[in-house]
Structures are given as structure tokens and as C-alpha cells.
Amino acid sequence: MNKATSVTSCRRRFFKAFQNVQRCHLSLAYTLHEPPHSLNCSKDYPLVILHGLFGSKQNHRSISKALARELQRPVYALDLRNHGESPHDSVHDYPSMADDVDEFIHHHRLKQPVLIGHSMGAKVAMTVALRSSSLLGALIPVDNAPVDALLKSDFGKYLAGMREVESTGIRKQVQADHILSKYEDAPAIRQFLMTNLVKSPNSGVLGFRIPIQTLASSLANMGDFPFRDPVAACHKGPTLFVRGTRSHYVPDDVLPVIGQFFPRFNIQDIDCGHWIMTERPDLFKLAVVSFLRDLDSDES
């Protein structure tokens, strides 16, 4: 997509950590999940859900509907830049993605939203919170921490597999699955990657809707975290970190750092791996609902 048509506006912002960097915010695609009997639901404190790397708003459709129903609040599931149906841009880092989400919240006039982000989306959500603390009603990062950490090598393998798929000119998903099986044994993860496959209307050849080269060159950015000093940037709003006990992204030794950036944090452990919202949606929903209802009772 041509950058001139995909960028809705561009502004220069200056932050202490990002001096003299020009970033453009993009207009993000989203799905709004209204609760049943939505005329009686509160429009305040909506939930905004951010997916992880190679994901999209479709990944969290079931949990979004369940949370909307349980909490009687609207839930916005977003496609982050270079993912799903959102525009592409050559810049893919946390400050730029946070710009997009910040603009989404302002454009839709969301009042004190609860920002939920998984993996890459968790770092986007934390970046928004640390830059614009008063904007949020609550923060829920899922299986990621506010530290620099190398991504698992799996992500590089996935990109190599996707490159091979695109280079072969295949027309059937079973062919793509066969190629990806050389890079990933788990069928569920291969199916997750193939949710990004689209067919060319002209040739019928399958390709990926995500910009593979852009994401490949941005993997190092995805391991980084754009804040270093919790004295200069601190979010004092209510925060729930949810981590998988069989994942490595939020080890115990980073909890002091989390406490410095997010002094009002709680942590919820769930017995699963990194893909918490998919592996244990029941326990994840229970954790979120309990956390937010406790906040409601504290305020009443």
C-alpha cells in the first residue's frame, strides 16, 4: 500500500527518549463487539485489545465477545499497523504503534479505556500507558514485560517459512502448510500463521497480507522496550500482568522492574504457555473480569 494513501495524518512529537524522530500515525482497522442489550451497557471504560506479532483482531474474537457479554462493556479489537486489515508502513516499532493506538482512543473518544495487549501488543499497551498515563482506566499486559529481551528464535524461523511460501507460487493452503511444517512442528501455530494468507484475485496465487520484509527487519525492535528510567516515566494506574507459567517472557527477576514502572501492579499466573488468551481463555476471562470488578467495587 502506498504510504501517501495509508497515512491519515502525520505529526511531529518530541519525547525525552525519542528526540527529533518524526512518526506518522495510521488509521487502524478494528472490530467493535457490543454486549447483549447494548442499549443498557456503559459506554465508559471500554476494553481495547491488541494482538501480538503476526496476529490480528480475529485472533481474539471469542474472548472479545465473552468479555463484552460478561462485563457489559464494548470491546474494540484492533489490527495494529502492518497486521490484519490495517495500513502498512516501513516503520514498525513501539513508539509508532503507540501513536496509532493513542490516536485511535482520541478519534473514537473512548473514556478511560482498559488497554489489554498480548506479547507485542503488551509492549504497545505499556508504551501508551507510560506516555499517556491519564488516558487509561486500567492496563492489562499479557505475557510480556517492560524490558529489552531477545525474541525467541521461532519468530525468525516463521518469517523464513513465510518467505518460502511466497516464493513458490502455491495456490492451496495444504501446500503452504507442508512448507511451513519444515519450520514449525505444531499444527496450531502453522494454522495461526496461515490466517495471514490471502489469494491474489488475478493469479490465484497465495501470499501473506502482512509485509514480511518490514517485519523481518523490525524483529530487533520487537525485543526492545522504549523506556529505561521509571523515574522519568511511571504509570500509577491499576495494572494487571497476566503471565503463562510455562512461558519465559515474564520471569520472576523482572518483577522489581515491573514494580518500578507500574507501582500499582498485580500479577496473575496461569498454567499455560505464551498464547494465554488462546490456550486458557476461561482462566484469562476470569482474571480480567475479577480484576475489573474489584476496581469497580473500590470506586463505588
Residue 142 has pLDDT above 80, yes or no: yes
For the ranges 3-12, 43-52, 125-134, 141-150, the lowest mean pLDDT is seen at 3-12
CB atoms within 10 A of CB 300: 5
pLDDT above 80 (res 11)? no
- Give, as one character, the DSSP assignment of residue 92: -
As a whole-number percent, the residues of the chain with pLDDT over 70 amount to: 89
Residue boundaries of the structural domains of the chain? 3-148+225-299, 154-217
pLDDT tens string 46-89: 999 999 999 999 999 999 999 999 999 999 999 999 999 999 99
- Cell numbers standing for residue 45: 471504560
* pLDDT at position 6 over 80: no
- Over the stretch 215-245, which tens digit does the pLDDT of each residue have? 999 999 999 999 999 989 999 999 999 999 9
Phi, psi at 283, each rounded to 5°: -70, -35
Q: What are residue 239's DSSP bridge partners?
A: 139, 265
Active site residue 51: no
User: CA-to-CA distance for 271 and 145, rounded, in angstroms?
Assistant: 18
pLDDT tops 60 at residue 131: yes
Note whether 55 and 142 are within 8 A (CB): no
Marked catalytic residue, from 64, 96, 119, 247: 119
Per-residue pLDDT at 178 exceeds 70: yes
Say what the pLDDT of residue 9 is. 36
State the virtual CA torsion across 99, 103, 104, 106 in degrees, nearest 10.
140
Q: Does domain 3-148+225-299 have CATH number 3.40.50.1820?
A: yes
Mark whether 274 is an active-site residue: yes
